[in-house]
Amino acid sequence: MNKVPILIAFLVAVVSVFQVQSGRIGLDDIFSAGGFDIFIPTFESDPYKGDLKVMAFGDMMMGRYVRTLMDRNGMEYPFENLVMPDFFDYADVRHANLEGPLKGEGRSGGTSTVFQFNEDIAPYLKKHDFDVVSISNNHAVDVGWDSRDTTIAALDAAGVGWCGHPTEADPASIYYGAEAGSTYAFVCLHDATINLDYDAAVNLIEYIDGDVDYVIVSIHWGYEYQHKPSYEKQVEHARSMVDAGADFIIGHHPHVVQSFEVYNDRFIFYSLGNFIFDQYWSTETQEQLAIGIVFDDTEEDMETEVHLYPMKSEKSQVRMMEGEELSSWYEEFISYSGYPEEAQEGIRSGFVENSMFDM
């Protein structure tokens, strides 16, 4: 008996069963874009047990002197010294904030705060396994609103998901996906140089909360170069989004790492700092935090783990911290907030979970 056709038929059936569509969905429930993500179960040992694993990074500024260095030394220059943590390979979704538009040949050199990146950054992101990026920030339309169209077109062509509107919380803020048997949505928002309509943001989160397993908010906000939330209202807004259904909040914009908190069992990371940038004038702007998030909704209450990956940037080349440098950074990070003792020990080991914050 020829078993090959049977095996092929079985694999086709598996693909058909687990085939799910991802992308941005408008309020009319119509998928506006996106291809197909295929989940095929594997039998490899996964050290990070959970329903969904997400790897998140801060701001990626791929123009100015970063681009000069890439043109001079090769496109792989920013990542040449970075050995990604093993969590990156196990992650189902990888996310960052794209700090500027993709249009034409971009701009290199100089110190202008008007950002414009070469459109070849889109396939570069895809090559490095970034699944979805936020394009909701104060630089998203630096070179005109038409650059939003070229950014979206380039990301779509490369197969990189996107979410966010430069000034509003609307259907474009949402990216839907499905991985590892779980559904999720990113809600990408901007509240750095505009006054975000938080009522609209809360309504958006409430609208999608019942449609997916996990809602992840990625938001550009806060005052620059501060290590704590910038104002009482920012904390209130963060907590209102959790109350509306956000399961995790990832912040960016301040260019430095900020404190985090757990509210109603949900993590709020106020800022992950720069990821790829050219702000060489400060040690703190060259320190970044990547996080590996593990959602586990198998129990009555959702359990969430966060693996901490502090990194150091030198001339826009990122590497993992280690040794005394890492230990010293953790102590500085702990000083940003009054974390419970168990959580402090967790931070020192590079791992925290929401149960450490039960009062």
**What confidence tens digit (pLDDT) does each residue in 284-304 have?**
999 999 999 999 987 667 899
pTM over 0.95: no
Residue 209, classed as helix, strand or coil, is helix
For residues 76 and 70, what is the distance between their CA atoms, to the nearest angstrom?
7
| Predicted pLDDT at 113 | 93
**What confidence tens digit (pLDDT) does each residue in 64-107 have?**
999 999 999 999 999 999 999 999 999 999 999 999 999 988 88
For residues 117 and 285, what is the distance between their CA atoms, to the nearest angstrom?
20
Instruction: Please choose, from the candidates 158, 58, 153, the residue with its C-alpha nearest in 3D space to the C-alpha of residue 101.
Output: 153
Domain segments of the chain as ranges: 23-357
**Residue linked to tokens 């895809």:** 126
Q: Is the dihedral of CA 22, 25, 31, 33 positive or negative?
A: negative
| Residue 342 burial (C-beta neighbours within 10 Å; 0-12, 13-18, 19+) | middle
Residue 121, classed as helix, strand or coil, is helix
Q: Alpha-carbon dihedral of residues 218, 221, 226, 231, nearest 10 degrees? A: -120
For residues 115 and 62, what is the distance between their CA atoms, to the nearest angstrom?
9
* Main-chain dihedrals φ then ψ at residue 103, nearest 5 degrees: -155, 125
CATH architecture group of domain 23-357: 4-Layer Sandwich (3.60)
DSSP bridge pairs for 314: 317
pLDDT in tens, the chain (359 residues): 444 443 334 333 433 333 333 564 433 332 233 332 323 333 345 788 888 999 999 999 999 999 999 999 999 999 999 999 999 999 999 999 999 999 988 888 788 899 999 999 999 999 999 999 999 999 999 999 999 999 999 999 999 999 999 999 999 999 999 999 999 999 999 999 999 999 999 999 999 999 999 999 999 999 999 999 988 999 999 999 999 999 999 999 999 999 999 999 999 999 999 999 999 999 999 999 999 999 998 766 789 999 999 999 999 999 999 999 999 999 999 999 999 999 999 999 999 999 999 86
